[in-house]
């Protein structure tokens, strides 16, 4: 995942599947930097900790475009002050990081991320402390769907009841509290925790580094609960074992594809970007051809599957909506930054030239902020031809984020689709992203990604602190998952057919 310090063609980083999680940022940093030997026991003096805490507040308060979107600045300041008062003894980087995470989470913005220093991240990833299971969270319970342990003795579908003596509900609650998400949306946090590397890192950070885990499970097919002791694995082991035991997880799926179920079209968009294979049509060409085929076939119903779509190009999300909209429309009310020059840049690797480039597409507005100029989705937008006038069902989940949240908000606001699945992982009124910079806290090396642009969608009349809650909430059972049955898709198809 790249930081975007200035206007780029996509306008946002593509956030695929996992989203921009703590884990994704850590992995990237660990892969590209060379570091001196890391001492995990090294402690940071109290004054240095307090200095870094003050820097963290300064860079977020100065630069974060959505700093007060969900949580008032006074509430955040009180949290920071209490954290400062709690810094009474030296801490290791890991201990300090764990204290800072809730402060970043409280902003309730999924694009804002806190990352360990590269050396600390590499050291953690190399330790065999990761829980060797891939989990699925359904109906308030946790199930093992992938066993990465040495003896692979836990059958798929087993309910996970406890980890290292702690009830799994308590563990999940504690880990979810360390994951930033728009508006604090729970489904977004749970979908990210389903990635074994994310769960494993946070488990180690929150509950301590264990090279052996004891889990209590209940078999899916019945039988008595049992305790299983499994050695921990490393981050590299997670990747290797997933590839070896579950090769489907390593398969590259098309970014977008089209199929028909009888007369109903099913348009699947896994990311708002172009196919890497240059022999395939670019997204705008694919989309126009798809809607032309609906016109030619007189397609009565369309399913748009946006589950797990973490976003991408803003204009590609808008283009999808424009093929269904029947009149000119506004997509954004505003795109704004707080400033055109930032003191926080001294904590980043950005050059003076980059800072100057950032300021060029900005113009001061009436409230003293700066409008971002030249975005293709700004101003009055026109419908696209061919236009689809049939019934539309959209599938969303906690992994539907960023640009996906933008387009779905427009579909919802203008009543152009009916929604199926679980609460969308993106805030209804927009996000904070666009230009993003990575600042480094000078004394600890911990880094924070700060999104500068406040995106405000041209929508209204919906709760401020929610993602789209589907018209038809549909969740699979663990039996559905094991059988490969897509009950969300089935429900949407049935709804379209009976109408």
More confident residue, 472 or 356: 472
pLDDT at 10 over 90: no
Over the stretch 198-244, which tens digit does the pLDDT of each residue have? 999 999 999 999 999 999 999 998 889 999 999 999 999 999 999 99
The pLDDT tens digits of the residues spanning 146-190 come to: 999 998 889 999 999 999 999 999 999 999 999 999 999 999 999
| Per-residue pLDDT tens digits for 189-211 | 999 999 999 999 999 999 999 99
Alpha-carbon gap, residue 434 to 269, rounded angstroms: 21
The total number of residues written for the chain in this structure: 499
Write down the residue that tokens 């389903």 correspond to: 194
Tell me what pLDDT residue 8 has.
35
Residue 223: what pLDDT? 81
Bond preceding residue 386 cis, omega within 30 of 0: yes
Q: How confident is the model at residue 414 (pLDDT cuts 50, 70, 90)?
A: very high
Per-residue pLDDT band for 351 (boundaries 50, 70, 90) equals confident
In the three-class reduction of DSSP (H, G, I as helix; E, B as strand; rest coil), residue 453 is classed as strand
Helix axes 168-176, 196-207, angle to 10 degrees: 90
Read off φ and ψ for residue 161, nearest 5 degrees.
Answer: -100, -35
> Which region among 65-74, 160-169, 356-365 has the lowest average model confidence (pLDDT)?
356-365
Contact between 107 and 60 (Cβ < 8 Å)? yes
Least confident of 46-60, 213-227, 259-273, 399-413: 213-227
Residue 20 clears pLDDT 60, i.e. is over it: no
Q: Among 178, 191, 215, which residue's Cα sits nearest to residue 137?
A: 191
Confidence band for 397, pLDDT divided at 50, 70 and 90:
very high
Band of pLDDT at residue 5, cut at 50, 70 and 90: very low
Average pLDDT over residues 57-69: 98
pTM above 0.85?
yes
| pLDDT attached to residue 355 | 80
Who has greater pLDDT, 24 or 213? 213
| pLDDT tens per residue, range 302-332 | 999 999 999 999 999 999 999 999 999 999 9
Mean pLDDT of the region 15-37: 43
Strands (DSSP E) contained in 10-94 are 43-44, 91-92
Whether the per-residue pLDDT at 394 is higher than 90: the answer is yes
Element (H, E) at 121: helix 118-126
Q: Look at residue 7 and tell me whether its pLDDT is greater than 80.
A: no
* Residue-level pLDDT at 76: 98
CA angle, 121 as apex, 116 and 127 as ends, to 5°?
Answer: 140
- Give the model's pLDDT for residue 4: 35
Condensed to tens digits (0 to 9), the pLDDT of residues 118-146 reads: 999 999 999 999 999 999 999 999 999 99
CA distance 197 to 193: 8
Higher-confidence residue of 479 and 8: namely 479
SS3 of residue 417 by DSSP: coil
Residue 28: pLDDT over 50: no
Nearest partner of 204 among 228, 178, 226, judged by Cα: 178
| CB-based burial label for 460 (10 Å; 0-12, 13-18, 19+) | exposed
Q: Could you tell me the pLDDT band of residue 350, with boundaries at 50, 70 and 90?
A: confident
Tokens representing 8 are 């780029």
Helices 46-63 and 93-105 cross at an angle (nearest 10°) of 30
Q: What was the pLDDT predicted at 360?
A: 81
pLDDT of residue 174: 98
Q: What integer pLDDT is reported at residue 12 of this predicted model? A: 58
* CB atoms near residue 302 (< 10 Å): 24
Q: pLDDT at residue 390 above 80?
A: yes
Q: Could you tell me if residue 11 is left (phi over 0), alpha (psi between -120 and 50 degrees) or otherwise beta?
A: left
pLDDT in tens, 415-442: 999 999 999 999 999 999 999 999 999 9
Whether pLDDT at 17 is above 90: no
**Confidence class for position 363, pLDDT limits 50, 70, 90:** very high
């Amino acid at each position: 995942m790249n930081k975007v310090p200035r206007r780029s063609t996509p306008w946002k980083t593509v956030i695929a599947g996992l989203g921009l999680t703590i884990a994704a940022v850590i992995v990237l940093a660990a892969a590209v930097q060379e570091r001196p030997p890391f001492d995990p026991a090294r402690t940071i003096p109290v004054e240095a900790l307090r200095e870094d805490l003050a820097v963290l507040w300064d860079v977020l308060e100065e630069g974060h475009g959505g700093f007060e979107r969900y949580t008032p600045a006074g509430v955040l300041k009180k949290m920071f002050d209490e954290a400062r008062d709690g810094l009474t003894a030296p801490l290791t980087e890991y201990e300090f990081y764990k204290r800072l995470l809730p402060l970043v989470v409280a902003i309730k913005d999924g694009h804002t991320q806190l990352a360990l220093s590269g050396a600390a991240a590499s050291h953690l990833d190399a330790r065999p402390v990761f829980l060797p299971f891939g989990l699925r969270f359904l109906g308030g319970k946790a199930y093992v769907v992938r066993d990465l342990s040495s003896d692979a003795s836990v059958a798929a579908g087993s309910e996970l009841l406890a980890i290292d003596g702690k009830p799994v509900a308590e563990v999940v609650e504690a880990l979810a509290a360390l994951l930033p998400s728009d508006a604090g949306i729970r489904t977004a946090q749970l979908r990210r925790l389903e990635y074994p590397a994310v769960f494993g890192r946070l488990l180690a950070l929150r509950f301590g580094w264990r090279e052996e885990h004891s889990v209590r499970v209940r078999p899916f097919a019945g039988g008595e609960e049992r305790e299983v002791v499994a050695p921990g694995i490393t981050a590299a082991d997670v990747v290797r074992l997933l590839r070896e035991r579950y090769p489907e997880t390593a398969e590259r799926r098309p970014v977008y594809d089209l199929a028909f179920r009888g007369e109903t079209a099913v348009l699947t968009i896994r990311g708002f970007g172009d196919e890497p294979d240059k022999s395939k049509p670019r997204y705008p060409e694919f989309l126009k051809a798809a809607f032309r085929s609906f016109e030619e076939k007189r397609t009565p119903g369309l399913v748009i599957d946006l589950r797990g779509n973490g976003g991408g190009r803003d204009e590609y999300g808008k283009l999808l909506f424009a093929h269904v909209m029947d009149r000119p429309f506004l997509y954004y009310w505003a795109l704004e930054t707080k400033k055109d020059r930032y003191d926080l840049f001294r904590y980043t690797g950005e050059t003076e030239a980059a800072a100057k480039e950032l300021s060029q597409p900005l113009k001061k507005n009436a409230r003293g902020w700066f409008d971002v100029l030249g975005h293709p989705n700004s101003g009055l937008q026109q419908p696209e031809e061919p236009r689809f006038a049939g019934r539309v069902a959209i599938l969303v989940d906690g992994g539907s984020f960023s640009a996906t949240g933008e387009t779905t908000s427009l579909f919802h606001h203008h009543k152009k689709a009916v929604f199926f699945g679980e609460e969308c992982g993106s805030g209804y009124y927009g996000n904070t992203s666009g230009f993003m910079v990575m600042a480094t806290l000078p004394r600890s090396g911990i880094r924070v990604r700060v999104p500068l642009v406040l995106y405000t969608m041209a929508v209204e009349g919906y709760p401020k602190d929610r993602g789209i809650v589907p018209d038809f909430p549909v969740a699979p059972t663990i039996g559905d998952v094991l059988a490969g049955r897509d009950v969300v898709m089935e429900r949407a198809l049935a709804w379209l057919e009976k109408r």
